[in-house]
Amino acid sequence: MYSVSPTVFSVTELNNYVKKLLDNDENLKNVFVTGEISNFKNHYSGHMYMTIKDEGGAIKAVMFSSYASRLKFVPENGMKVIIFGSVSLYNKDGSYQLYITDMQPDGIGALNLAFEQLKEKLAKEGLFNPEFKKPIPDFPEKIGVMTAPDGAAIRDIFSVLKRRYPVAEIVFCPVAVQGASAAPEIANAINLFNEQNAADVLIVGRGGGSLEDLWAFNEEIVARAIFNSHIPVISAVGHETDFTIADFVADLRAPTPSAAAELAVPDIFELKSDLAGLRQHLSVLMKNMLFSERESLASTEKRLSILSPQTKILNSRQELANLYDKAVNSVMNRINSEKAVISAVSGRMNALSPLAVLSRGYSIAYKDAAAITSVNDVNNGDNINIKVADGEIYATVNDVKGS
């Protein structure tokens, strides 16, 4: 049946033989493959296992942790990707598979995808929620600044801070803002400021650049450091049109580093102007208040003077004087009235008085103090008294003659 004696392979030998064939094929050492991810598994070891498929077939694939850690995005089932790697055979189950060294999303950049994935993840956790935003202090005494020690950003920030609010202290912490070490340095600087309570507000940022240049501010470690900071954080990354994850997490987003400095502190010249206006307003208020209080005091004094005992005594005295005058007038009127009555009666009595008769030339004769009204009251030789208007005449009766 066989022309030569056949070679008998063990399973392991056969797998090793096929593996050697695959590994020695130059076309399979560096291969690009496009397809859709399925059966994705992110192992706790950091290795990633998946199947890459299209409408006509499928192949198993693995990306070991040393390569997977470099990815900016997280692979997902259903994601279309372009894979770079090699083809080999896995001895234990005899299946050939892709060994991935790099992976890019098909149709969208890896950084853009990573940005959207992290943004969605942190949004679901609530890191962007308004209720977690801390207010920027109105009058900070210390401003913490984290950016590169060289470049326009630090110069712009320092210039604006010193111009607007020179009374504040600037605490500068230089950090890398680009490259692999940037994100850990920024996060560590934020944590250090918080541990030492070294500032009242923090400015974190850099000047503009490409998405790759700004990527440190899209790292999760920086986002969580900003969110966990008890010191308010102002993000100032790139230009006005640039947005990073740090902008969404920060308590306040500034379009540029210069704008961040303006938002961090008040303008001392405006404060002086406002203070002058307040002083003037306060002076007017004080004058108005003093005038009002004086008016109120005068009104109170007037009411108190009306209710005071001294006023009551004076009023009582006046009333008493009025009553006295009234009583005197009443008594005088009564006296005058009585005088008039008496005068009238006196006139009438005077008209009837014997003295009045005497004053008209008449006289009254008395004998023994009794008026003589008849000749029969006397005898010759009697001593009699004759009463005239201006005195008395003592006489002796010499003769008595009847009518």
Inside any domain, residue 351 = no
Residue 295's pLDDT band (boundaries 50, 70, 90)?
confident
192: CATH = 3.40.50.10550
Taking all residues of the chain, what is their mean pLDDT, rounded to a whole number? 86
Inside any domain, residue 114 = no
Please give the pLDDT value at position 325.
86
Same-domain pairing of 223 and 160: yes
| pLDDT per position as a tens digit, 222-279 | 999 999 999 999 999 877 677 889 999 999 999 899 999 999 999 988 888 888 888 8
Average pLDDT over residues 338-367: 76
**Gap between the Cα atoms of 101 and 30, Å rounded:** 10
Inside any domain, residue 339 = no
Same-domain pairing of 294 and 367: no
Same-domain pairing of 103 and 147: no
Please give the pLDDT value at position 274.
83
Which residue range is the domain that position 391 belongs to? 356-396
Q: Which of 215, 239, 266 is the last residue of a domain?
A: 266
Q: How far is CA 364 from CA 347, 356, 369, in A?
A: 22, 12, 11
Q: How far is CA 242 from CA 136, 205, 222, 263, in A?
A: 22, 12, 17, 18
Please give the pLDDT value at position 158.
93
Inside any domain, residue 326 = no
Please give the pLDDT value at position 1.
46
DSSP string, 137-182: PSS-SEEEEEE-SSSHHHHHHHHHHHHH-TTSEEEEEE---SSTTH
| pLDDT per position as a tens digit, 13-56 | 787 888 888 878 888 888 888 888 889 999 889 999 999 888 88
Same-domain pairing of 293 and 244: no
Same-domain pairing of 152 and 244: yes
Residue 10's pLDDT band (boundaries 50, 70, 90)?
confident
72: CATH = 2.40.50.140
pTM: predicted TM-score of the whole model, two decimal places: 0.54
Same-domain pairing of 69 and 181: no
Please tell me the total count of domains within the chain.
4
Inside any domain, residue 97 = yes
Inside any domain, residue 340 = no
Inside any domain, residue 100 = yes
